[in-house]
Amino acid sequence: MTLETYKTDGFYDELFADDGVAHPSARPLVEQIDTLSRPELKRRQKLAEDILYQSGNTFNVYGDKKGTEKILPFDIIPRMVSAADWAKLERGIAQRITALNLFIQDIYNDQKILKDKVIPSELIFSSACYLKPCEGLSPPKGVWTHISGTDFVRDGDGEFYVLEDNLRCPSGISYVLENRAVLKRILPAAFHTMKVRPVSDYGDHLYRTLKHIAPAGREDPNIIVLTPGIYNSAYFEHAYLAQQMGVPLAQGSDLVVEDDIVYMRTTEGLQRVDVIYRRIDDEFIDPEVFRKESLLGIPGIMRAYKTGNVALANAPGTGIADDKAIYAYVPRIIKYYLGEEAISNNVPTYICEDDSDRAYVLENLDKLVIKAVNLSGGYGMLIGPKSTKAEQREFAQLIQAKPREYIAQPTLSLSRAPTLIGGGIEGRHVDFRPYSLYGEEIFTLPGGLTRVAIKKGSLVVNSSQGGGSKDTWVLEDEYNAAEGN
Amino acid sequence: MLSRVANSIYWMARYLERADCVARFIDVNTHLMLDLSLDQYSAQWYPLIATSGDDEDFNKRYTQADERAVIKFMTFDEKNPNSILSSIFRARENARTVREVIPVEMWEKINELYHLTQGHSRKRSVADLQDYYKEVRQMGHLFTGLMHNTMSRDMGWQFAHLGQMLERADKTARLLDVKYFLLLPRADDVDSAYDAVQWGAVLKSVNALEMYRQQFHTINYKDVTQFLLFSKAFPRSVLFCLEDASAALDMLTYDRTVENKATAEMAILCKTIHSSDASHIISAGLHEFIDIFQANLNLVDEAIYDTYFKT
């Protein structure tokens, strides 16, 4: 199928420099797709969906009595990131994560950054993500965010911007690995023509990251993944990660704390647990400390954690650096702790708590994106240019009632990527979430989750809002256009 | 191994074996209909229900034990916890909770079987469902093959094997019982040609006919009973399954100095079987023997739960 007629419509495109003209680095892939007929592309798309369906990474269709299950939409045309772009992203992420870890450590201990008035104290203490029980905490090896997934979008200028830092329990990594496994079967020829960096060793990296924080003296630590259970929407991922590392997948009811030590109930009696990659949110993890009604958590686990008898990844309390109002301060946080300018761009952010910012936001609701500071997944959001007057009035009231709860950002012109739609290929908006691990050093997996808004013109890529995903190819080195001549 | 996970592996294997065995039960009648040119009216369907242990539930919800009703009850009835559909659903639910410890191909096979069952047309005649039943039995073979060829012989495997063998012992015993309920045209037809055909159908449904003939050559009541209960060589005989289950339990007994309830109950059950033979059982009543056997089997299952799974 020829891509000569592909239109970029004036958007920055991940594979095309201009209408029908591929970026030099994407040329081998585009040529490969050109050799496939329309029915053949559709056949491969169907095959990919069948493979994903059989793998069982499915969710139940709500309210369907027959138990129908669906996969998240998947698009077989991969998204690409050039080696140069990747190098910059990698440095930017490492810098952010280093600074944000210093920030969290400071916030729960000395609070120097508040005393130096770089960040207004009330912004911290008014945050729902500030956890008082974490005051005075110093996690093993000084690392709070062992696992994170930074959300980026590319604007019309071709630059990447950080949207969110996702320092709590970012999900989606299983899609990165699964999508790649599927694409190797669907488009094998394309892999031969270009150097795509592998992602399949994520499990090894994750295991080493977790082993790094095991309590001192535990030579052969017991590492586990903790899941809320099979009804959690990310259960597949929890099982997948346990499988990738070859460690037990436990639920809260499998664990018990005795004398500040965490044990799991095994067929051979109680066995000590040393490191927990927990996929349960902070507030549910210990009913003794946080939400008392939580049945998912393990009573006493925070005591064991504070004593240093068990390590938790991520540490509780990291949400404070994930608050969307704090986000606005990340460039200043980087400057404060590292004395460096931020490498990755922040999206300019208006904090509605600030009087002059709020006045500007209320004047410009039709131009801005409004976000609730503590919600994700595309909830609590207003996209100004696509909103009705009534929606704008509703958000104006919300903002005036609870200014701390909202921020605003200019509407970015999200980049697009060629996507198989019906029988043809059209541009659709995408974002990008690479995944990082902070163990002995910061490692970012060369790949990531590209989410795509399947609906024409839509800017919302969240799966809860009908978004799909693509495999993401980080290239080994720049394709030299002159080389073939 | 986490107790919850061990429990799930055990039940994953049991439920899959159960689905497989139910398909084999129905197979008895398929053979009979073909071998004796029976139509759906003259075939006897109630024996399949009578031996399943679910007769009470069936009688409550169905008025007639004809082909349609029995096939529905045993295959696609969601309310029957032991129907093929329910067994596969539960096998998959258990597999879901142990995905991290089983090979991925194993999970995919179970998942495939589940989707095949979920999406299958719910035709009611046994003739229409032949391909489906065959698929269920094939999947049973595939699953066992994957288990034997790709799983380390660690605790997970032992629990799966234990579950599979206990379920199979139970179902082989019940299968013998089906024959007890299958009526002969005349009371003195025992060991007649008609009787031989019925026993042949029982043997075929567990792929035992050829192996049986090598040992006994002709089909008769006593020898079939001997073979299916006491063969030391045939892998679906009750004795064979129990010895395998026993060996798995031994492997799981990490501390041999402490009295272990599961091993103790298992020893009692094995002793009952060992100290008996076909003539003895036939004179005392095969049906009565199987009743007692099943009660003992339940005690073993409870003891396994108390020893390994209870937290």
> CB–CB of B111 and A56 under 8 A?
yes
Determine the residue type at B152: S
pLDDT at A1 (0 to 100): 65
Is residue A375 scored above 80 in pLDDT? Answer: no
pLDDT at B272 (0 to 100): 87
Picking from A56, A243, A268, the nearest residue to B254 by CB comes out as A268
* Separation of CA B278 from chain center: 20
Average pLDDT over residues A249-266: 96
- Number of C-beta neighbours around residue B209 at 10 A: 17
* Separation of CA A321 from chain center: 14
Cα–Cα distances in angstroms (integers) from residue A57 to residues A74, A117, A238, A399, B237, in the given order: 12, 47, 11, 38, 38
> CB–CB of B100 and A267 under 8 A?
no
Picking from B108, B118, B309, the nearest residue to A55 by CB comes out as B108
- C-alpha span between A57 and A40 (Å, rounded): 25
Residue whose structure tokens are 């169907």: A46
Distance from the Cα of A203 to chain B's closest Cα (Å) equals: 13
* CA within 13 Å, CB half, A100: 33
Taking alpha carbons only, the member of A201, A221, A224, A211 closest to residue A141 is A211
pLDDT at A465 (0 to 100): 73
- C-alpha span between A324 and A374 (Å, rounded): 7
Give which of B86, B88, B99 to mutate to test A binding, by max A Cβ within 10 Å: B99
> CB–CB of B4 and A265 under 8 A?
yes
Strand, coil or helix: A322: helix
pLDDT at B181 (0 to 100): 84
Cα–Cα distances in angstroms (integers) from residue B179 to residues A452, B137, B190, B287, in the given order: 61, 21, 11, 10
Q: Under an 8 Å CB criterion, which residues of B touch A?
A: 1-6, 93, 96-97, 99-101, 104, 107-108, 111-112, 115, 118, 155, 159, 252, 254, 308-309, 311
Strand, coil or helix: A182: helix
Cβ proximity of A470 and A79 under 8 Å: yes
Picking from B2, B111, B309, the nearest residue to A248 by CB comes out as B2
Check: complex ipTM more than 0.90: no
Picking from A54, A253, A254, the nearest residue to B108 by CB comes out as A54
| H or E stretch at A429 | strand A424-429
User: Which tokens hold the place of B302?
Assistant: 């409870």
Is residue A2 scored above 60 in pLDDT? Answer: yes
Exposure string over B65-83, b if 16+ CB within 10 A, otherwise e: bebebbbbbbbbbeebebb
Average pLDDT over residues A381-405: 90
- C-alpha span between A430 and A150 (Å, rounded): 14
* A74-81 and A468-474 beta bridge pairing: parallel
Give which of A267, A272, A276 to mutate to test B binding, by max B Cβ within 10 Å: A267
- Number of C-beta neighbours around residue A411 at 10 A: 15
Which H, E and C letters describe chain B, residue by residue? CEHHHHHHHHHHHHHHHHHHHHHHHHHHHHHHHHHCCCCCCCCCCHHHHHHHCCHHHHHHHCCCCCHHHHHHHHHCCCCCCCCHHHHHHHHHHHHHHCHHHCCHHHHHHHHHHHHHHHCCCCCCCCCCCHHHHHHHHHHHHHHHHHHHHHCCCCHHHHHHHHHHHHHHHHHHHHHHHHHHHCCCCCHHHCCCHHHHHHHHHHHHHCCCHHHHHHHHCCCCHHHHHHHHHHCCCCCCCHHHHHHHHHHHHHHHCCCCCCCCHHHHHHHHHHHHHHCCCHHHHHHHCHHHHHHHHHHHHHHHHHHHHHHHHCC
What phi, psi does A458 have (nearest 5°)? -70, 145
Average pLDDT over residues A16-37: 92
pLDDT at A481 (0 to 100): 40
pLDDT at A67 (0 to 100): 66
> CB–CB of B100 and A251 under 8 A?
no
Cβ proximity of B2 and A264 under 8 Å: yes
Chain segment A93-107, per-residue pLDDT in tens: 999 999 999 999 999
First to last CA, chain A: 25
Q: How many Cβ pairs closer than 8 A exist between chain A and B?
A: 68
Cα–Cα distances in angstroms (integers) from residue B58 to residues B46, B72, B290, in the given order: 10, 11, 21
> CB–CB of B4 and A254 under 8 A?
yes
* CA within 13 Å, CB half, A266: 18
Name the closest residue on chain A to residue B103, using Cα atoms. A243
Name the closest residue on chain A to residue B104, using Cα atoms. A55
Which residues in chain A are closer than 8 Å to B309, comparing Cβ atoms?
267
Distance from the Cα of B246 to chain A's closest Cα (Å) equals: 17
Cβ proximity of A286 and A298 under 8 Å: yes
Which residues does A33 contact at the CB level (< 8 Å), separation at least 6?
A1, A3, A41, A77, A190, A425
Picking from A249, A253, A267, the nearest residue to B100 by CB comes out as A249
Which residues in chain B are closer than 8 Å to A252, comparing Cβ atoms?
none
Exposure string over B183-193, b if 16+ CB within 10 A, otherwise e: eeeeeeeeeee
Which residues in chain B are closer than 8 Å to A240, comparing Cβ atoms?
99-100
> CB–CB of B4 and A56 under 8 A?
no
> CB–CB of B2 and A268 under 8 A?
no
Kindly tell me the burial class for residue A88, based on how many C-beta atoms sit within 10 Å of its own C-beta (0-12, 13-18, 19 or more).
middle
Which residues in chain B are closer than 8 Å to A54, comparing Cβ atoms?
108, 111-112, 115
> CB–CB of A247 and B100 under 8 A?
yes
Give which of B2, B92, B305 to mutate to test A binding, by max A Cβ within 10 Å: B2
- C-alpha span between A192 and A190 (Å, rounded): 5
Kindly tell me the burial class for residue B282, based on how many C-beta atoms sit within 10 Å of its own C-beta (0-12, 13-18, 19 or more).
middle
β-bridge mates for residue A407, sequence order = A351, A371
Distance from the Cα of A245 to chain B's closest Cα (Å) equals: 9
pLDDT at A434 (0 to 100): 98
Kindly tell me the burial class for residue B29, based on how many C-beta atoms sit within 10 Å of its own C-beta (0-12, 13-18, 19 or more).
buried
Q: Under an 8 Å CB criterion, which residues of A touch B?
A: 53-56, 66-67, 225, 230, 235, 239-240, 242-243, 246-251, 253-254, 264-268
Strand, coil or helix: A297: coil
pLDDT at B257 (0 to 100): 65
Name the closest residue on chain B to residue A263, using Cα atoms. B2
Distance from the Cα of A449 to chain B's closest Cα (Å) equals: 22
> CB–CB of B309 and A267 under 8 A?
yes
Beta strands in A20-154 (DSSP E): 21-22, 59-60, 69-70, 74-81, 147-149, 151-154
- C-alpha span between B97 and B102 (Å, rounded): 10
Which residues in chain A are closer than 8 Å to B96, comparing Cβ atoms?
56, 230, 235, 239
> CB–CB of B118 and A67 under 8 A?
yes
Cα–Cα distances in angstroms (integers) from residue B10 to residues B149, B157, B162, in the given order: 18, 9, 7
According to DSSP, residue A313 is labeled E
> CB–CB of A253 and B4 under 8 A?
yes
Name the closest residue on chain B to residue A270, using Cα atoms. B2
Which residues does A215 contact at the CB level (< 8 Å), separation at least 6?
A140, A221, A274, A308, A309, A310, A311
Chain segment A43-87, per-residue pLDDT in tens: 999 999 999 998 888 776 666 666 677 888 999 999 999 999 999
Cβ proximity of B158 and B9 under 8 Å: no
**Where does residue A457 fall: left (phi above 0), alpha (psi -120 to 50 degrees), or beta otherwise?**
left
pLDDT at B178 (0 to 100): 85
Q: What is the pLDDT along chain B (311 residues), one digit of tens a residue?
A: 999 999 999 999 999 999 999 999 898 888 888 888 777 777 788 999 988 889 999 999 999 999 989 999 999 999 999 999 999 999 999 999 898 899 999 999 999 999 999 989 887 788 889 999 999 999 999 999 999 999 999 999 999 999 999 999 999 999 988 888 887 777 677 778 888 888 998 999 898 999 999 999 999 888 999 999 999 999 999 999 999 999 999 999 876 666 789 999 999 999 988 888 888 888 888 888 998 999 999 999 999 999 999 87
Taking alpha carbons only, the member of A298, A344, A365, A321 closest to residue A143 is A321
pLDDT at A59 (0 to 100): 74
pLDDT at A376 (0 to 100): 64
Name the closest residue on chain A to residue B307, using Cα atoms. A267
> CB–CB of A242 and B100 under 8 A?
yes
Whether the bond into A314 is cis, omega within 30 of 0: yes
- Number of C-beta neighbours around residue B135 at 10 A: 17
Which residues in chain B are closer than 8 Å to A265, comparing Cβ atoms?
2-4, 311
According to DSSP, residue A164 is labeled E
Chain segment A163-185, per-residue pLDDT in tens: 999 999 899 999 999 999 999 99
Average pLDDT over residues A202-228: 95
Determine the residue type at A91: R
Which residues in chain B are closer than 8 Å to A235, comparing Cβ atoms?
96
Taking alpha carbons only, the member of A173, A86, A183 closest to residue A420 is A183
* A368-372 and A381-383 beta bridge pairing: antiparallel
Name the closest residue on chain B to residue A225, using Cα atoms. B100
Picking from B155, B159, B311, the nearest residue to A265 by CB comes out as B311
Which residues in chain B are closer than 8 Å to A185, comparing Cβ atoms?
none
- C-alpha span between B44 and B82 (Å, rounded): 20
Cα–Cα distances in angstroms (integers) from residue B265 to residues A80, A136, B132, B268, in the given order: 62, 54, 37, 5
